[in-house]
A and B are shown apart, each in its own frame.
Chain A
Amino acid sequence: MVFYLHIAMPNSTDSANDRAMDKKEIQRYFMTTLKENTEMSPAVAAIRTLLAYLSRDTAETMSELRKNLLHAIECLCLTDSFITGTSISSGCDLFLRFITLTALDHSDFDECKKIMLHRGEVYLETVDSSRAKIAKLFRPFIRDGAIVLVHSRSRVVLQALVQARTHGKRFEVFVTEGGSDKTGVEMQKSLTEVGIPATVIIDAAVGYIMEKVDVVLLGAEGVVESGGIINKIGSFSTAIAAKEHNKPVFVLAESFKFVRLYPLNQRDIPDKFKYSQATLLRHNDLSKEHPQSDYTPPSFITLLFTDLGILTPSAVSDELIKLYM
């Protein structure tokens, strides 16, 4: 992260003449941030971009700032990338809420903005440690000799497993291939590198493998208000198979992925969460397109490991209500 701040600084001084970022700049900033920090979640990149935007924003009143920010968020969401909108959206929502909360406490605009920037930095710092924290929380839940099923690639899950391994836990991992982009293969490589025996299985073999699996681990693109998750397509079918076999499904997700959304079913998920921006722009008829994410309802989830602690699905709504009330 320190490394990032270095590149951020020259970037901001470069165009330091108090000129607000325009659409292209926002998107470029976001994409560079992501590219240069492969381990960074899009939600964090979004928050970071918005902070950068905020620091250079020229608005003079709170309502103006809000309007500008909304515009910036719109630009972010339209970024022509292959990532789905869930994580960007959750990051942006949280940022907006954070602005509102700070504004409530402080009436003077300039001072308020200063506090915002300060708190923003503090927040980003705490976010950095969240994966390590989740990994620590999760460690006792993995038994020696356990067989773990992981769906596709997830940075949190990877870190949690690696940390468990470095703490002497011995276990075996099955990784699903993860659809056309084969992210599961990357995951398998990263796992074998640290000495965790890992095998890639095709997504269709989830039902077959389930009876010998002890625990299912899922990452999340977004944790929604119901306590369910939106995640890489195939997560739902994995969770269904796990439930049929009465296997625990653990979700590992940082708290910045909490998103104020309550999907009823798959159809109810907004399109921007299911398809990448590129797909959305290219096609009119989405029914022929493969969605990239699905919704797993809370009844399929045993526990969520977050940097806020171990949560039952119902505790997610508690957090979101507290934040937005």
Chain B
Amino acid sequence: MVMTSTSGLASSDRASSSSPSGPCDIPLTEELQDNIEKFLTRLHHSSPKEGSYSTAREAALILRKIVAVCKWQTAKELIALIKREGRRITKTNPADSVFGNIVRRILKIIREEYVNYSTALTADGAVPSAEEPDVKESLHNMFVSGVGRSDDYNRRLPKLKDTTFKGTLLEAIGEFLSELETSGDNIAVQALEHIHSNEIILTIGKSRTVEAFLKHAAKKRKFHVIVAEAAPFFQGHIMAKSLAENTPPIPTTLITDSAIFAMMSRVNKVIIGTHTVMANGGLKAVNGSHTIALAAKHYSVPLIVCAAMFKLSPQYLGTSDQDAFNKFVTPEDVMNYAEGEVLSKVHLVNPVFDYVPPQLVTLFISNIGGNAPSYVYRLLTELYHPDDDDDNL
């Protein structure tokens, strides 16, 4: 069972009609509609071998276009519009949390810019106040506020000097896009703080972020990498080859997934990527990651997860039930159709993700620095607005 912090995805459908922001009837342009359809098809057919970065980028581009092209009047309308489209896309692909993250991120940007812009308006030309209101409910706020929050994002914001609200908004989204683009590099530059000489590092499958991270470290340090092949998609083979062909080359050993525990006793560090970081600091990562994490724990080997901020999701895994959380692909990779006779009598399962509980993770390295899994809750409050966490999306 997966749910956002206040309600499950299932209930979000029901709630959508009575969403407090109200129904939204701003139409999309045909071109946008087309873009979204294409994006949906691609998302639907995406193989588990592809990384989440391209999805994130594409989602951000589509949302930027919505902001730029559609005819909205107030921030409130825009928020409702983006939520509507966001809901439509997440519904078709509930296991892929990246898209939802991007939507929430953009919504947060809209809210932030709205507040900044209106403060700038009232101060008329003054520098927008750097202090951003802490909207998250807290014990502190419960005592000092006395009255509830009242901002409804419904004011029409006039032109301020040469810029419009839309202009500043697009600029902010542009900044977010470039943050997205540089996130991999920003993670990679931290590599030297984490990898020392002659280490033996274990990783599984292929993560774009981890690849860049290791290659960056290889410029200065000599270390050995063990790559688990990550059956049945075998991305580890590509990863291993890429590392070994790097300049300078990284000595790499490819192992089967079954040898992970055997090798772990000699490993200094485990560095893996992930598809999503859950709200409790747990991971939704490639199949086999849970085994790696357990083995690392067994030998007290630190487990480092390289994940850009856009992978942080406000979702929790409720119980150990993985059905809604996981994604299943054709079992052809597990056993090919040539095994006909046996195949018809056997139940084959080919899940894509593993859930890794937070107590098995030692450290997250994101584009803004290193954090313990116990601090993820805080990063989330910085990234997303509480009103977008729940069934409003």
Interface residues of A (CB under 8 A from B): 94, 97-98, 101-102, 105, 115, 118-119, 122-123, 126, 136-137, 139-143, 146, 214-215, 248, 255, 258, 302-303, 307-315, 318-320, 322-323
Q: Which of B5-13, B21-29, B268-276 contacts A (4 or more CB under 8 A)?
A: B5-13
**Partner-contacting stretch, out of B63-71, B86-94, B314-322:** B314-322
Residues of A within 8 A of B40 (CB): none
- Contacts known (A136-B6, A137-B5, A323-B138); A310 close to B143, Cβ less than 8 A: no
A residues less than 8 Å from B378 (CB atoms):
315, 318
Whether B147 sits at the interface, judged by CB under 8 Å, is yes
Contact pattern, B 364-392, Cβ under 8 Å of A = 1, otherwise 0: 00000000001111100000001000000
Contacts of B316 in A (CB 8 A): 141, 303, 310
A190 to B62, CA, bound (A): 52
Contacts of A101 in B (CB 8 A): 140, 143-144
A220–B118 Cα distance when bound, in Å, is: 43
Q: Please, how many angstroms separate the alpha-carbon atoms of A140 and B3 in the complex?
A: 7
Contact across chains for A309 and B386 when beta carbons are under 8 A apart: yes
**Which of B11, B279, B319 has a CB less than 8 Å from the CB of A214?**
B319
- CB-based contact B139/A258 at 8 Å: yes
Residues of B with C-beta under 8 A to A136 = 6-7
Taking a contact as CB atoms under 8 Å apart, the answer to whether A322 and B377 are in contact is: no
Chain A: which residue is nearest B9 at the CB level? A140
| Residue B281, interface by CB 8 Å | yes
The interface residues of chain B lying within 8 Å CB-to-CB of A318 are 377-378
Q: Given A137-B5, A303-B280, A303-B316, do A309 and B321 touch, yes or no (CB 8 Å)?
A: no
Partner of B7, one of A115, A140, A143, A302: A140
Complex Cα gap A115–B145 (Å): 11
Is the CB–CB distance between B319 and A143 below 8 Å?
A: yes
A258 to B143, CA, bound (A): 14
A302 to B138, CA, bound (A): 20
The residue on A at minimum CB distance from B280 is A312
Check if B36 is an interface residue, CB within 8 A of chain A.
no
Whole-angstrom distance from the CB of B353 to the nearest CB of chain A? Answer: 19
Which residues of B pack against A, CB within 8 Å?
1, 3, 5-8, 11, 136-140, 142-144, 146-147, 279-281, 316, 318-321, 358, 374-378, 386
Distance A183 CA – B11 CA, assembled complex (angstroms): 34
Given A141-B316, A215-B319, A248-B319, CB of A315 within 8 Å of CB of B377? yes
- Alpha-carbon gap, A214 to B318, bound state (A): 11
Decide if B5 touches A105 in the complex (CB within 8 Å). no
Chain B residue numbers with a CB within 8 Å of A94 are 139, 143
Interface centre among B137, B139, B143 (most CB of A within 10 A): B139
Residue of B8, B146, B374 near A314 (CB, 8 A) is B374
Chain A's closest residue to B377 (CB) is: A315
With A309-B137, A314-B374 already in contact, the answer to whether A146 and B319 are too (CB < 8 A) is yes
Complex alpha-carbon distance, A323 and B386, angstroms: 19
* Distance between A215 CB and nearest chain B CB, rounded to angstroms: 6
Q: State A139–B391 Cα separation when bound (angstroms).
A: 13
Q: Could you say which residues of chain A place their CB within 8 Å of the CB of B7? A: 136, 139-140
Beta-carbon nearest neighbor of B279 in chain A: A310
A313–B146 alpha-carbon span in the complex (Å) = 27
- Least distance between B334 CB and chain A CB atoms (Å): 27
Closest beta carbon of chain A to B104's beta carbon, Å: 15
Q: Is the CB of B144 within 8 A of A105?
A: yes
Min C-beta distance of A131 to chain B, whole Å:
15
Residues of chain A lying within 8 A (CB to CB) of residue B147? 122
* Highest count of chain A CB atoms <10 Å: which of B3, B146, B280, B376: B146
CB distance from B386 to the nearest CB of A (A): 7
Q: Is the CB of A308 within 8 A of B139?
A: yes
> Measured between alpha carbons, how far is A97 from B375 in the docked complex, in Å?
26
Are A312 and B281 within 8 A (Cβ)? yes
A303 to B377, CA, bound (A): 11
B143 touches A308 (CB 8 A): no
Apart from A248-B319, A312-B377: 7 A-B pairs, beta carbons within 8 A: A142-B319, A143-B1, A255-B139, A312-B358, A312-B374, A319-B139, A322-B139
Cβ contacts under 8 Å, B6 to chain A: 136-137, 309
- Show 20 A/B contacts (Cβ-Cβ < 8 Å), sorted by A: A97-B143, A101-B143, A101-B144, A102-B143, A102-B144, A122-B147, A126-B142, A136-B6, A140-B1, A141-B1, A142-B318, A255-B142, A258-B139, A310-B5, A310-B279, A312-B280, A312-B281, A313-B374, A318-B377, A323-B138
Contacts of B358 in A (CB 8 A): 312
CA of A302 to CA of B281, assembled, Å: 11
- Contact among A141, A146, A311 with B3 in the assembled complex (CB-CB below 8 Å): A141
Expressed in whole angstroms, the Cα–Cα distance for A323 and B1 within the complex equals 34
Q: Give chain B residues whose Cβ lies under 8 Å from the Cβ of A303.
A: 280, 316
